[in-house]
């Protein structure tokens, strides 16, 4: 699926998600006790095989009454894991709770219960269980990693960073620890440290598509479009081709003003996943840059069909239609945009221009004034109001608006001239 947020926090990644009792300290206690009661075979079946086989074996053991304490806790943990593999998080959650009741020092059970909270976005409860797991097992890598993710999702980057630091210390080849720490550094404005972590992840795993894609997103965010293009092209070479990477590479091409190449990538992304409105919007922007306004309007129409409640899409189409001289259609779109999201300065600017193209100068003046009340730094609104003042022989007012617009945008004369926002005879 194509995401609209370019730097997103990813769940679980490659460190593994769920703790199993097999091989851990608790398994050692359980295995020793199970030998004493000659249940090692049954316990092995409880911890292996298909989910249904594991659930059956664990249930038989628990119902037999032959397990107690740590042994019973292990059986509940493993049955919970099997339920989770079947997609039954409620029964898994209940089993993890039983495991904790039977053995309050069972770090894995706290961790797995925390992961259910985490996936349900109950972040505070997840952090609480991760804290309990780490109190029992301070070097629990998975608990540090996922607690770091939970802190980051809450915007507590200051608390996430020490967890990712600890993961890197305990598992220095865990690439996901570097990529997640990079996101935290980026969010905190430490771009150099973010890039260093992305680079380290790729040193460890040069063919890792996810790490390279994340670095490409980083380069998009820092407007380093050439470097983003290189990373996304490499992701595509590594295969398989996916819509998200094609979309992102299209953005990189557009940032380099290679709009025809951008359109080809957007075309390919749409062929793979045709239901993402944002891709049509991005392709419309590239068509617009190439002067293909009719194609841009068509793409914006498709975006509106997919997301009819998006005020920004209506505003974009209003602006394009006004420049095509289809003022009445433009005004309908701007009105709908303002109905969905009232008093947006940029939309008022678009509607003012549509009124100007329709010859409704008083309405245009009102909208330019309203836009500038909400955002006094809109160069096109200042210029448009200046044009109207010039047409009304208010030379001083017009020159003041033109000067203010030029201070904000050195190319405003050229941009306004291209769309005909000039006084007659100018």
> Mind listing the pLDDT tens digit for each residue in 70-116?
989 999 999 999 999 999 999 999 999 999 999 999 999 999 999 99
Q: What is the pLDDT of residues 178-187, one digit of tens each?
A: 999 999 999 9
Quick one: 204 exposed, middle or buried, by C-beta within 10 A (0-12, 13-18, 19+)? middle
Q: What is the mean pLDDT of the chain?
A: 91
Higher pLDDT among residues 67 and 399, named by residue: 399
Q: Is the dihedral of CA 48, 54, 57, 58 positive or negative?
A: positive
Alpha-carbon separation of residue 121 from 62, 117, 129, 318, 424 (angstroms)? 31, 6, 13, 38, 59
Give the pLDDT confidence score for residue 121 in this predicted structure: 96
Q: Is the confidence at residue 386, as pLDDT, over 80?
A: yes
Contact (CB, 8 A) for 262 and 244 = no
| Residues 166, 167, 171, 173, Cα dihedral to 10° | -120
Of the listed ranges 16-30, 140-154, 161-175, 337-351, the one predicted with least confidence: 16-30
* CA–CA separation, 32 and 128 (whole Å): 31
Q: Is the confidence at residue 220, as pLDDT, over 80?
A: yes
Of the listed ranges 54-63, 116-125, 162-171, 385-394, the one predicted with least confidence: 54-63
Q: Supply the Cα-derived Rg of the chain in whole angstroms.
A: 29
Give the pLDDT confidence score for residue 423 in this predicted structure: 76
Q: How sure is the predictor about 5, in pLDDT bands with cuts at 50, 70 and 90?
A: very low
CATH class of 20-138: mainly alpha
Contact (CB, 8 A) for 270 and 279 = yes
Percentage, residues of the chain above pLDDT 90: 85
Percentage, residues of the chain above pLDDT 70: 90
Q: Is the confidence at residue 30, as pLDDT, over 90?
A: no
What residues contact 229, with CB distance under 8 A and at least 6 apart? 249, 252, 253, 256
* CA–CA separation, 164 and 142 (whole Å): 10
Alpha-carbon separation of residue 306 from 188, 221, 274, 311 (angstroms)? 34, 26, 10, 13
What residues contact 332, with CB distance under 8 A and at least 6 apart? none
Q: How sure is the predictor about 19, in pLDDT bands with cuts at 50, 70 and 90?
A: confident
281-309 mean pLDDT: 98
* CA–CA separation, 374 and 371 (whole Å): 5
Contact (CB, 8 A) for 48 and 54 = yes
* CA–CA separation, 58 and 227 (whole Å): 53
Give the pLDDT confidence score for residue 28 in this predicted structure: 40
Q: How sure is the predictor about 276, in pLDDT bands with cuts at 50, 70 and 90?
A: very high
| Relative orientation angle of helices 25-36 and 69-85, to the nearest 10 degrees | 120
Q: Is the confidence at residue 43, as pLDDT, over 90?
A: no
């Amino acid at each position: 699926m194509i995401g609209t947020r370019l730097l997103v926090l990813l769940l679980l990644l490659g460190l593994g998600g769920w703790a199993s009792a097999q091989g851990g300290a608790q398994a050692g206690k359980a295995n020793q006790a199970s030998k004493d009661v000659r249940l090692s075979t049954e316990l092995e079946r409880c911890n292996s095989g298909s989910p249904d086989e594991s659930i059956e074996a664990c249930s038989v053991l628990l119902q037999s009454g032959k397990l107690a304490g740590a042994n019973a806790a292990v059986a509940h943990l493993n049955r919970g894991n099997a339920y989770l593999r079947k997609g039954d998080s409620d029964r898994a959650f209940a089993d993890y709770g039983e495991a904790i009741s039977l053995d309050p020092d069972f770090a894995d059970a706290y961790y797995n219960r925390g992961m259910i909270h985490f996936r349900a976005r109950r972040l505070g409860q997840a952090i609480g269980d991760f804290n309990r797991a780490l109190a029992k097992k301070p070097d629990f890598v998975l608990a540090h990693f996922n607690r770091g993710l939970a802190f980051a999702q809450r915007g507590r980057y200051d608390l996430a960073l020490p967890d990712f630091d600890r993961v890197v210390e305990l598992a220095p080849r865990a690439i996901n620890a570097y990529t997640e720490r990079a996101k935290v550094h980026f969010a905190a404005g430490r771009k150099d440290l973010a890039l260093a972590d992305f680079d380290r992840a790729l040193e460890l795993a040069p063919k890792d598509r996810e790490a390279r894609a994340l670095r490409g997103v980083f380069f998009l965010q820092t407007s380093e479009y050439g470097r983003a293009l290189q990373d996304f092209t490499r992701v595509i070479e590594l295969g398989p081709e996916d819509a998200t990477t094609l979309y992102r590479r299209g953005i990189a091409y557009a940032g380099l003003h290679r709009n025809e190449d951008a359109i080809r990538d957007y075309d390919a992304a749409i062929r793979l996943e045709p239901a993402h409105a944002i891709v049509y919007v991005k392709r419309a922007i590239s068509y617009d840059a190439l002067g293909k306004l009719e194609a841009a309007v068509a793409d914006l129409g498709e975006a509106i069909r997919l997301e009819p409640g998006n005020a920004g899409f209506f505003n974009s189409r209003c602006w394009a239609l006004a420049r095509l001289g289809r003022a009445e259609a433009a005004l309908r779109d701007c009105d709908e945009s303002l109905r969905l999201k009232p008093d947006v300065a940029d939309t008022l600017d678009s509607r003012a221009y549509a009124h100007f193209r329709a010859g409704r100068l008083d309405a245009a003046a009102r909208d330019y004034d309203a836009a500038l009340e909400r955002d006094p730094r809109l160069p096109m609104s200042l210029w448009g109001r200046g044009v109207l003042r010039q047409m009304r022989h208010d030379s001083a007012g017009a020159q003041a608006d033109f000067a203010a617009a030029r201070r904000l945008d050195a190319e405003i004369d050229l941009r306004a001239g291209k769309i005909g926002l000039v006084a007659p005879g100018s």
